[in-house]
């Protein structure tokens, strides 16, 4: 087997060889702990016949670990300076294709159809650039990519929000947006010392298993997400107050209270106490009354 890229010595040697300087603006913190990366691949349950998409391969530390298990790997890297480096470090793995593109601009389902014709399942793995964690996750989830497991490293605080349950500080519109599409679980927390350069915050590995069907059925998905977002707009405000700001002056507080009463939801509650089921009921009730998107 080839030597791991993810050791302090080898990583520094590669960076020196190419005179590479980290760009903070691209969230470049590279992992120098091969075991941790193996752990990500194991958590994603990558098998011989599987295809894997990686976001942000950097110098190929995680890519190589995935490549040792998967049938085909597609890695999206935005930083053009890394393309020649990856060509070199990933040379022993011809079944890896690196695409020099912003993953947010990629038509993932089309690319999967083109490159993953012979694979059994598709997984997504990444040590995500922290400055755009949420847009990347929402891009993947909303695009309808038929992935089985998505295992990524994110800031610990974001991991907590992704997997949060009602009534906790971390629970918010992001928890619901993600849990609508997937079952989320924080796998483990990760210290800053596994990266160079070290980030300012702790990290965590999170696993999302795609749901075949959303856990709730709503009349309008886009309206549901709007109602959820509005309900958390000001966390300290009650549901009625937040919904009033959302619906505007044409609805009085008592109109809104009446709509909530009809579905047995107390308007004095705060968004953070509502379950996804309750948000679905709430959104359908408002949708029916207001008849709007």
- Distance, in Å, from the CA atom of 246 to the CA atom of 109, rounded to the nearest integer, reads 34
Which residue number, 58 or 267, has a Cβ lying nearer to ligand SAM?
Answer: 58
- Distance, in Å, from the CA atom of 125 to the CA atom of 40, rounded to the nearest integer, reads 8
Q: Which residues of 237-270 are buried (b: 16+ CB within 10 A; e: fewer)?
A: bbbbbbbbebbeeebeeeebbebbeeeebebeeb
Out of 51, 56, 172, 267, point to the residue binding ligand SAM (CB under 6 A): 56
Question: What phi, psi does 211 have (nearest 5°)?
Answer: -85, 140
- Distance, in Å, from the CA atom of 15 to the CA atom of 33, rounded to the nearest integer, reads 16
Which residue number, 26 or 233, has a Cβ lying nearer to ligand SAM?
Answer: 26
Pick the piece of the chain touching ligand SAM (CB under 6 A) from 20-28, 41-49, 169-177, 208-216.
Answer: 20-28
Q: Which residues of 120-147 are buried (b: 16+ CB within 10 A; e: fewer)?
A: ebbbbbbbbbbebbbebbebbbeeebeb
Q: Does 178 bind ligand SAM (CB under 6 A)?
A: no
Which residue number, 37 or 230, has a Cβ lying nearer to ligand SAM?
Answer: 37
Which residue number, 115 or 269, has a Cβ lying nearer to ligand SAM?
Answer: 115
CB 36 to ligand SAM: min, Å: 9
List, as one string, the DSSP characters of 127-144: E--GGGHHHHHHHHHHTT
Q: Does 31 bind ligand SAM (CB under 6 A)?
A: yes
Q: Does 103 bind ligand SAM (CB under 6 A)?
A: yes
Q: Does 151 bind ligand SAM (CB under 6 A)?
A: no
Out of 4, 20, 30, 151, point to the residue binding ligand SAM (CB under 6 A): 30
Which residue number, 56 or 271, has a Cβ lying nearer to ligand SAM?
Answer: 56
Q: Is the dihedral of CA 175, 179, 182, 186 positive or negative?
A: positive
CB 163 to ligand SAM: min, Å: 20
Which residue number, 62 or 285, has a Cβ lying nearer to ligand SAM?
Answer: 62
Question: What phi, psi does 71 have (nearest 5°)?
Answer: -80, -35
Give the residue from 279, 276, 155 showing the smallest Cα distance to 215: 276
Q: Which residue is nearest to ligand SAM (CB)?
A: 56
Interface contacts to ligand SAM, rule CB under 6 A: 26-31, 55-58, 61-62, 76-79, 82, 102-104, 127, 129, 132
């Amino acid at each position: 087997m080839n030597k791991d890229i993810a050791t302090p010595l080898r990583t520094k040697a590669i960076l020196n060889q190419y005179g590479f300087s980290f760009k903070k603006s691209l969230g470049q913190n590279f992992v120098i702990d091969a075991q941790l990366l193996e752990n990500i691949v194991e958590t994603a349950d990558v098998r011989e016949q599987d295809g894997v998409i990686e976001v942000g391969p950097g110098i190929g530390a995680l890519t190589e670990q995935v490549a040792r298990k998967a049938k085909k790997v597609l890695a999206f890297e935005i930083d053009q300076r890394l393309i020649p480096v990856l060509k070199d470090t990933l040379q022993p793995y011809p079944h890896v294709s690196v695409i020099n593109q912003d993953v947010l601009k990629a038509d993932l389902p089309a690319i999967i159809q083109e490159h993953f014709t012979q694979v059994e399942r598709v997984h997504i793995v990444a040590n995500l650039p922290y400055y755009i964690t949420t847009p990347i996750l929402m891009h993947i989830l909303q695009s309808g990519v038929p992935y089985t497991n998505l295992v990524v490293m994110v800031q610990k605080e974001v991991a907590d929000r992704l997997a949060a349950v009602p009534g906790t500080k971390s629970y918010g519109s992001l928890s619901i947006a993600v849990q609508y599409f997937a079952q989320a679980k924080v796998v483990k927390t990760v210290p800053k010392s596994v990266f160079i350069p070290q980030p300012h915050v702790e990290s965590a590995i999170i696993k999302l298993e795609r749901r075949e069907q959303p856990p709730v059925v709503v009349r309008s998905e886009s309206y549901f997400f709007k109602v959820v977002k509005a309900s958390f707009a000001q966390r300290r405000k009650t549901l009625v107050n937040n919904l009033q700001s959302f619906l505007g002056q044409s609805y009085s507080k008592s109109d809104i209270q009446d709509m909530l009463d009809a579905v047995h939801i107390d308007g004095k509650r705060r968004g953070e106490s509502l379950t996804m089921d309750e948000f679905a009921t709430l959104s359908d009730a408002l949708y029916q009354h207001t008849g709007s998107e």
